[in-house]
Amino acid sequence: MFEPSLFTRLRPAERVLVAGAGGGFDVYAGLPIAFAQHAAGKQVCRLRDAG
C-alpha cells in the first residue's frame, strides 16, 4: 500500500533497463526510478537518446 506498484513489480528483477524517449521527460521520470532501483541493489542498464 505504501510502495508504488511499479517498484512492487520490479522487486523480483535482478536487472532493470531504463530507456528514455527523448524530450527531457526521461530525466524527470527515468532518473528517480534508476536511482531507487540502484539503491535497492539492482543492476541498472540505461539507453541514451542518440539525438
Report field, pTM of the whole predicted structure over 0.75: no
Average pLDDT of span 4-28: 81
For residue 32, CA distances in Å to 9, 36, 44, 49 come to: 16, 6, 12, 17
Q: Give pLDDT, residue 14.
A: 86
Nearest of 50, 48, 42 to residue 15 by alpha carbon: 42
51 vs 43: CA distance, rounded Å: 25
For the chain, percent of residues with pLDDT exceeding 90: 2
Residue of 27, 7, 24 lying closest to 46 (CA atoms): 27
Q: What is the pLDDT of residue 45?
A: 78
More reliable by pLDDT, 20 or 2: 2
49: confidence class by pLDDT, cuts 50, 70, 90: low
Q: Please answer whether residues 18 and 33 qualify as being in contact, where contact means their C-beta atoms are separated by less than 8 angstroms.
A: yes
